[in-house]
């Protein structure tokens, strides 16, 4: 028995030693193979050529090449290039969609079929660049279509100046912008279309006229910035906006100037979670907006019409958590608008209060929104494909004294970002209108939309 054990032990050791030797041989062989691969990748001649000193003939060849290229470039520049006195970035954004509509609320009278939605094209650029402090002067000129007639109207026309230096991320920023621009009220109205998950915006943004541009002077700034250099991430504790505006909507709809002598005022303040990039609370912000303005309303009594000015005020509160991969936004908006009311048979100036709630929950798959990741050196036209399912609840109560009359919209959607500036959006909207507490039959709309830009 012991002999068998001894024999097995010897055989075992031989096998193990052999395996070890084989492994060592394999490692040696793999290193030889590595060296062969290294030697075969590009030739040594290439390296020698790179090392060889340049001759006068070589230099002359390079000079000739440069001269030819310079002449070619100049010819192109003279004949076939759009020139600009100052830096100008041309950009555009377009949508085309197909929708199925069924119902009597938002889908009433809407036929199934293709539609071209909002489109815009414009220039943005720099009129003065301050390399030392970043106190730059920038401009924008954008023309956009309206939804119904595709009439092109001015969208953004503004000039901005960085009052405080913008190159030091540890210091607060302050900027002034004059011209026609977005109103800094809440989330829905300030988010650009390419960042919005839904095809259709929240109801309140259009009914309260918060998503339309206006003419005015906007001061934008921040305080107490937290700067995480390791991630190039800067978040100010406080962001503030203050705007003086006509309150008469954008240029081009007949209102080239203010409708009255009074100016409307708009203020917004946002508190951000002052945390570093990797913190779970990154992207958490709480904001509040207040708009105070006047609106002229005609009051007619005994065939005599008197233009009366009433308060047009807005109040908003919002909370957002935009992190990776999950995020949500909730926004509450309240409006007070002047209306003509009849009291005891006499038309008087009254007011209506309305309010709205909008909640959106989304989840991102992919790196579409990871800024540092998408900026890569690549030879091909690469972009990380990303997906974003989302859910939105949107409620608008047009008169808060009649809460039982309102419209609720539930949206389930899916965004597919398949190229750098292009996405496919699929939205299913289910809308319920309540009239004095009576719920309507559901209104259904299924819309697939391509949003693309350059």
Q: Distances from the Cα of 295 to the Cαs of 217, 248, 264, 298, 322, in angstroms?
A: 19, 9, 10, 10, 36
In this structure, what are the phi and psi dihedrals at residue 391, rounded to the nearest 5 degrees? -135, 140
In the complex, minimum distance from the CB of residue 228 to another protein, in angstroms, rounded to a whole number: 8
CB closer to another protein, 108 vs 412: 412
In the complex, minimum distance from the CB of residue 69 to another protein, in angstroms, rounded to a whole number: 19
In the complex, minimum distance from the CB of residue 424 to another protein, in angstroms, rounded to a whole number: 14
Per the CB < 8 A criterion, the answer to whether 129 and 139 are in contact is no
Q: Is the dihedral of CA 199, 205, 206, 212 positive or negative?
A: negative
In the complex, minimum distance from the CB of residue 225 to another protein, in angstroms, rounded to a whole number: 12
CB closer to another protein, 94 vs 387: 387
Token pair recorded at residue 17: 């030693």
Torsion angle of alpha carbons 373, 378, 380, 384, nearest 10°? -10
Q: How far apart are the first and last CA of the chain?
A: 84
CB closer to another protein, 146 vs 367: 367
Per the CB < 8 A criterion, the answer to whether 358 and 394 are in contact is yes
CB closer to another protein, 41 vs 302: 41
Between CA 61 and CA 64 the distance in angstroms is 5
Between CA 452 and CA 381 the distance in angstroms is 16
Return the exposure string of 409-429: e unless at least 16 CB atoms fall within 10 Å of the residue's CB, then b. bebebebebbeeebbbbbbeb
CB closer to another protein, 402 vs 430: 430
In the complex, minimum distance from the CB of residue 363 to another protein, in angstroms, rounded to a whole number: 6
In the complex, minimum distance from the CB of residue 289 to another protein, in angstroms, rounded to a whole number: 28
CB closer to another protein, 75 vs 371: 371
In the complex, minimum distance from the CB of residue 176 to another protein, in angstroms, rounded to a whole number: 22
What is the binding site for another protein (CB under 8 A)? 23-24, 27, 30-31, 34-35, 37-38, 41-42, 44, 46-47, 50-51, 130-132, 167-169, 228-233, 276-278, 324-325, 361, 363, 365, 367, 370-373, 375-379, 387, 389, 391, 410, 412, 414, 430
Q: For the purposes of burial, counting CB atoms within 10 Å of the CB of 384, is it exposed (0-12), middle (13-18) or buried (19 or more)?
A: middle
CB closer to another protein, 150 vs 382: 382
Cα–Cα nearest to 406, from 415, 414, 416, 395: 395
In the complex, minimum distance from the CB of residue 408 to another protein, in angstroms, rounded to a whole number: 11
Half-sphere exposure of 235 (CA within 13 A, CB side): 20
CB closer to another protein, 160 vs 388: 388
Per the CB < 8 A criterion, the answer to whether 87 and 108 are in contact is no
């Amino acid at each position: 028995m012991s002999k068998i054990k001894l024999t097995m032990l010897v055989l075992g050791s031989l096998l193990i030693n052999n395996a070890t030797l084989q492994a060592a041989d394999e490692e040696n062989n793999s290193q030889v193979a590595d060296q062969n691969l290294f030697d075969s990748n590009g030739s040594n001649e290439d390296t020698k050529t790179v090392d060889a000193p340049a001759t006068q003939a070589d230099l002359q060849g390079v000079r000739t090449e440069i001269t030819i290229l310079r002449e070619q470039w100049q010819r192109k520049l003279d004949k076939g290039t759009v020139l600009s006195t100052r830096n100008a970035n041309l950009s555009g954004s377009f949508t085309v969609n197909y929708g199925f509509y069924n119902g009597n609320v938002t889908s009433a009278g809407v036929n199934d079929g293709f539609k071209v939605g909002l489109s815009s094209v414009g220039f943005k650029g720099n009129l003065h660049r301050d390399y030392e402090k970043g106190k730059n002067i920038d401009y924008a000129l954008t023309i956009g279509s309206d939804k119904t007639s595709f009439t092109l109207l001015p969208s953004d026309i503004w000039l901005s100046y960085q009052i405080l230096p913008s190159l030091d991320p540890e210091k607060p920023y302050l900027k002034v912008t004059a011209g026609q621009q977005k109103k800094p009220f809440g989330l829905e109205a300030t988010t650009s279309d390419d960042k919005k998950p839904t095809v259709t915006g929240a109801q309140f943004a259009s009914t309260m006229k918060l998503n339309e541009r206006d003419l005015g002077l906007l001061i934008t700034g921040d305080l107490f910035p937290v700067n995480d250099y390791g991630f190039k991430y800067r978040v100010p504790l406080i962001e503030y906006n203050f705007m003086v505006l006509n309150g008469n909507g954008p240029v081009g709809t007949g209102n080239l100037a203010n409708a009255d002598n009074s100016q409307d005022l708009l203020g917004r303040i946002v508190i951000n979670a002052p945390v570093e990039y990797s913190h779970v609370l990154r992207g958490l912000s709480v904001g509040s907006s207040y708009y105070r303005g006047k609106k002229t309303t005609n009051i007619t009594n005994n065939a005599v019409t008197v233009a009366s000015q009433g308060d047009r005020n807005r109040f908003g509160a919002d909370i957002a958590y935009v992190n990776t991969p999950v995020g949500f936004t909730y926004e509450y908006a309240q409006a007070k608008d002047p209306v003509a009311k009849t009291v005891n048979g006499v038309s008087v100036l009254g007011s209506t209060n309305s309010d709205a709630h909008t909640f959106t929950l989304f989840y991102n798959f992919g790196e579409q929104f990871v800024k540092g990741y998408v900026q890569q050196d690549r030879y091909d036209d690469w972009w990380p494909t990303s997906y974003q399912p989302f859910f939105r609840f949107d409620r608008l109560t047009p008169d808060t004294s009649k809460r039982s009359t309102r419209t609720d919209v539930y949206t389930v959607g899916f965004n597919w970002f398949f190229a750098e500036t292009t996405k496919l959006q699929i939205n299913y909207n289910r809308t319920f209108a309540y009239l004095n507490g009576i719920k309507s039959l559901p209104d259904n709309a299924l819309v697939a939309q391509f949003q693309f830009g350059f």
